[in-house]
Amino acid sequence: MSLGDDHYRPIDEVGVIASVDGKVAVVTGASRGIGLATVVELARSGAAGVTITARKPENLEAALGVLRDADVADDLVMALPARADSEEAAAETATATVDRFGSLDILVNNAGTNPSAGNLMDVDLGALDKTWAVNMRAPLLWVRAAYHTWMGTHGGSVVNVASVAGLRPSPLMGAYNISKAGLIHMTRQLAHELAPGIRVNAVAPAVVRTRLAGMLLENEEMTARMHPLGRVGEPEEVARLIVYLASDAAAWMTGAIVPIDGGVVGAASSGIS
């Protein structure tokens, strides 16, 4: 797992940002990138159990190896293969989590995809449907599963992984941008509907060093210049914000969309180029 460059302080040098002592979490899309980094940070911050999901069992096995290397105890983590856009998988995962760990206090909707690059007039509609199913419909399925299994009675915290792409248009990314814009509005809608017992917030990263960033990292120097802080983000940096929002340290936050973007949104709104 990446620990970054000269500008990035490794996670062990930063310390615990917020405590989630005794809480149990589900993290979707947790086999790599932001999701996997979030599991490490949850464990370091006192979580009593974390269920991780991914579509492919072999990716989960690899993730468990990374977690062992990061000194995350085997009995703290349960790995379950699950398609993010499957209502049945969401319900089964929520039930299995409560059965194994005794609660489901935190849900991190991290799973995402972007197979649909192109202008909206030309993009393949099958790819568009897949993008919207995973990025927009799936988070609702997992919130509903968590709600009906545990949170509806006991409360909890949901953190959705959105994107700065959901805050403004950009070339060739229309289907993805719309899916993240929908997730941003869904976050606010769910925060309104589920208060006061369940808090729902979202993070909105810019380009982070993950596989999903794909072609944007092929010319990292150019991509870095798009960010006022002069570099792309690291998964661990986003993970710390996710855990903060999930924790009681953010107990008076709900419906918040928090950019973590190297200054992209703030610079654009202030006219800085």
- Does residue 99 lie within any of the structural domains? yes
In DSSP terms, 208 is beta-bridged to 233
Cis peptide before 196 (omega within 30 of 0): yes
Residue 35: give the domain boundaries. Answer: 18-261
Residues 142, 107: contact at Cβ < 8 Å? yes
Q: How far apart are CA 121 and CA 79, in angstroms?
A: 40
Has 176 been annotated as catalytic? yes
Q: How far apart are CA 134 and CA 165, in angstroms?
A: 16
**Residue 236 structure tokens:** 């661990």
When divided into structural domains, the chain yields a total of 1
- Does residue 3 lie within any of the structural domains? no
List the chain pLDDT tens, one digit each, 273 residues.
443 444 444 445 556 668 999 999 999 999 999 999 999 999 999 999 999 999 999 999 999 999 999 999 999 999 999 999 999 999 999 999 999 999 999 999 999 998 888 999 999 999 999 999 999 999 999 999 999 999 999 999 999 999 999 999 988 889 999 999 999 999 999 999 999 999 999 999 998 887 765 666 557 677 667 778 888 889 999 999 999 999 999 999 999 999 998 888 876 655 554
- Does residue 184 lie within any of the structural domains? yes
Q: How far apart are CA 22 and CA 147, in angstroms?
A: 19
- The domain spanning residue 137 has which CATH number? 3.40.50.720
- Does residue 11 lie within any of the structural domains? no
**Residue 202 structure tokens:** 């979202």
Q: Which residue has the tokens 């989960």?
A: 60
- Does residue 199 lie within any of the structural domains? yes
**Active-site pick, 8, 147, 176, 244:** 176
The DSSP 8-state label assigned to residue 114 in this structure reads -
